[in-house]
Structure 1
Amino acid sequence: MSGFFKLLKGGNKSSFLAAIVNTIIAIVKGVAFFFTGNVAMFAEMMHSIGDAANQYFVFFGSALSKKAPTPRFPNGFGRLINLVCLGAVIIVGILSYETIKEGWHHIQHPAASTGVAISLAVLGFSILLELFVLYKAGKEILHEVGVKGGFLAPLSTSFIHLKRAKPATKLVFMEDLVATTGGVLAFVAVLISYFTGFLQAEGIASVLIGLMMFYVVGKVFLDNARGALGETDEQMLVHIAHIVSENKDVKDIKVLEVIKEGEFLHVDLVAEIDPTLTFAQVDDIHDVLKELILNQQSVTDVTIAFDEDDGIRKWTHHKDPHTALKTHD
């Protein structure tokens, strides 16, 4: 049991924080919907329930993915986080459908809701909490990719680096981005409905929120499906090829693979070297390259082999300056 709690400490902090916040928000929105009957509030409640469930799943999945390899699973559990995220989006997909269905029903049969002040207060409170979680997730993205920025960077620069974020952090950021936007939509819809009498506004907001949730489902599903299959990290591949080629003993790169294993990277390298080198010299080269590659961000496993140099330089992929990364010391 102590080992399990130790694993939980390594879980994604952003997803755990988001899960707690969305649980609170879902309860508050549920109470508000019970007293007001506001359809936009219903959509937001469903959204928050889906986000909270997702983020609890992701937190436990990210923690368990760090479990050490076993004789039965010698390659480790890195891709478990991708499988968990794939399962989590099913929940969001179901809630998205219910949200759109309820919104469409309200468009066809509009009905005035009560307790406008309660609805606006709850939505305003929820928007602030979601924005806080979004900010923390954006900050975590910048930390994961090794980028520093100013106070507003988590809400601006983080979008540029979203693709390189860990699966769990990316999911939290995208879900809370949609949640914050959905909260604003619901807030505006309540105002329009109250001041103009256009009651369908709440139903339209509900449908739009559901569609945004479906977008997250599709995006997260595709990202994690690639991760579960074993996707190449192209940018890191170019970077590692560059630093390996700078070693004076490496004449050429015969094979180089950088595969994403959940939040981590696995590297397979076959380098061509001088065939006249002694075993001791080759062993020293192996140790230097292994230490160098393991020092790169997110790399946790390296397999290195050597072949004799054939005198023909074939590997040129590392020469692209636009995809090279800075070396992580």
Structure 2
Amino acid sequence: MAETLKLLKDGNKPSLLAAFVNAFLGIIKGAAFFFTGNVAMFAEMMHSFGDAANQFFVYVGSALSKKAPNEQFPGGYGRIVNLVCLFAVIIVAILSYETIKEGWHHFLHPSTESKGMLIALSVLFIGGVLEGTVLAKAAVEVLHEAGQEKAGLASIPKAFRFLNRAKPATKLVFMEDLVATGGNVLAFSAILIAHFTGWAQIEGLVSMIIGCMMFYVVGNVFLDNARGVIGETDQEMLNRIAHLVLDDPNIKDIVRLEVIKEGEFLHVELVAEANPELSLAYLDDVRDHLTEIILSQKGVTKVTILYDEDDGEMTWVHIGDRPPNLPQK
């Protein structure tokens, strides 16, 4: 129990914050839907509750993924965050379907008039502010994990450029709250349009749009984490490490280099060709030096280096142009 509590302290903080915020918003949106009968508010309620459950599971998964390797799982628990994210998107997918179904029903039969416009607008305004705040914090966390400086109000658009460098949990929170903030704006607009124009179908249409936005997050997150469960290569980091290894004059060639994403971490396996005339003691020092350099790279937590005899031919051809400098730890 003590170990679990210690791990939870190191869980992804943006996802925990987002879970609490969305749970609160789900409750007040549910109350607003009960008093107003507004279908756009129903869509937002489902969206908030789905995000809350999703992000809480992600927080727990990100914490458990930091559990130390043991005899049963020598590779560690890094990929558990990917498994949890896959489970979490199932919840969002179900709520997305219910949101679209309810929106379609209201679009076809818009006869039921909603009431309490000011209540609905007030709740959506509060939701927009809170979810926008969480989105901004998630954007700052994305930039931090990518080794970039935060940029104030420009942090959100800037975060898009570095989203692939963020941890799975942080990326999920950013995408979900981006959709949630947009959903609040759409629902707010739909209520105003329906009130002033009498076009009641707009609320059902917006509900379906919000549901489709939720499905987009489901698909994107599912594909990202499915690759993570299988063991995706970080190509950019692989190229950088290849350059660092070949910059060492004692390394003549690379036989095999793998940089595998293990949840939030990177594991490196290297088989390099070295001069056979070098002593084992000297090569051991070279291994220690390379291990230290590779471990200093962002996200790398495990390095395995093996040697092979130099065959006199250069076979490593997957380097390409030198990539831009990646952030250090």
**TM-score in terms of structure 1 length:** 0.98
Matches of 2:118 and 2:205, distance apart in 1? 20
In the alignment, what sits opposite 2:88?
88
Alignment of 1:104-253 (within 5 A): 104-110=104-110, 111-253=112-254
Distance 1:119 1:221 in 2: 32
Residues in 2 aligned to 1:203 and 1:306: alpha-carbon distance in whole angstroms: 64
**Structure 2 residue aligned with 1:20:** 20
Aligned residue for 1:269? 270
| CA deviation after TM superposition for structure 1 residue 58, in Å | 0.3
The DSSP-based 3-state class of the residue aligned with 2:268 is strand
Q: Distance in 2 between matches of 1:210 and 1:325?
A: 39
Could you tell me which residue of structure 1 aligns to residue 48 of structure 2? 48
- Quote the offset at 1:74 in angstroms: 1.1
Partner of 2:77: 77
Identity %: 62
Instruction: Supply the distance in 1 between the matched residues of 2:17 and 2:45 (Cα, whole angstroms).
Output: 18
Q: Cα offset for 1:12?
A: 0.3
Counterpart residue identity of residue 97, structure 1: Y
Report SS of the residue matched to 1:317. coil
Separation of aligned partners in 2, 1:149 and 1:62 = 23
Two-structure CA RMSD over aligned residues (Å): 1.0
Q: Which amino acid in 2 is paired with 1:158? A: A
5 Å matches for 1:31-42? 31-42=31-42
Shift of 1:64: 0.3
The 8 Å contact of residues 144 and 150 in structure 2, kept in 1 or not, is answered as no
Distance (Å, rounded) in 2 between the aligned partners of 1:190 and 1:160: 34
Partner of 2:295: 294
- Offset, 1:149: 3.6
How far has the Cα of 1:41 moved from its partner?
0.2
Change in 2 beyond 3 A, CA 1:327/1:175 = closer
Instruction: Describe how 1:310-329 pairs up with structure 2 within 5 A.
Output: 310-321=311-322, 323-326=323-326, 328=328
| Structure 2 match to 1:11 | 11
CA contact under 8 A between 1:236 and 1:325: conserved in structure 2? Answer: no
CA offsets 1:217-243 (integer angstroms, 9 cap, x no match) = 110000000000000000000011011
Aligned amino acid, residue 291 of structure 1: E
SS of the counterpart of 2:251? coil
Secondary structure of 2:319 counterpart: helix
Query: What one-letter code is carried by the residue in structure 1 that aligns with 2:113?
Result: A
> Does the Cα contact within 8 Å between 1:137 and 1:154 map onto a contact in 2?
no
Q: Distance in 1 between matches of 2:27 and 2:232?
A: 38
Which digits, 9 at most, give the CA deviation of each residue in 1:272-296, with x for residues without a partner? 1100001110100010001110110
Counterpart amino acid of residue 205 in structure 1? V
Q: 1:60 matched to which residue of 2?
A: 60
Structure 2 letter corresponding to 1:162:
L
Q: CA deviation at 1:313?
A: 1.2
CA contact (8 A) 2:82 2:226 kept: yes
The question of whether the paired residues in 2 share the 8 Å contact of 1:235 and 1:325 is answered with no
Following the alignment from structure 2 to structure 1, what is the Cα–Cα distance between the partners of residues 277 and 41?
Answer: 74
Amino acid at match of 2:248: N
**Greater CA deviation, 57-66 or 244-253?**
244-253
CA contact (8 A) 1:242 1:324 kept: no
Q: CA deviation at 1:53?
A: 0.2
Unaligned runs of 5+ in 1: none
Tell me the alpha carbon deviations over residues 63-113 of structure 1, each in whole angstroms, 9 at most, x when there is no partner: 000000111111110000000000000000000000000000001110210
Matched letter for residue 40 of structure 2: A
**How many angstroms does 1:327 deviate by?**
5.9
Change (3 A) 1:327 1:224: closer
Count of equivalent residues: 328
Aligned residue for 1:156, secondary structure, equals helix
Distance in 2 of aligned mates of 1:250 and 1:242: 11
Normalised to the residue count of structure 2, the TM-score between the two structures is 0.98
Q: Shift of the alpha carbon at 1:154?
A: 2.1
* 1:30 matches 2:30: yes
Q: Distance in 2 between matches of 1:172 and 1:156?
A: 15
Deviations along 1:111-149, whole A, 9 cap, x unmatched?
A: 210000011010011001110000000100000010114
Contact 1:107 1:203 (C-alpha < 8 Å) held by counterparts: yes
Asked if structure 2 preserves the Cα contact closer than 8 Å seen for 1:145 and 1:164, the reply is yes
Provide the rounded CA distance (Å) in 1 between the counterparts of 2:314 and 2:131: 53
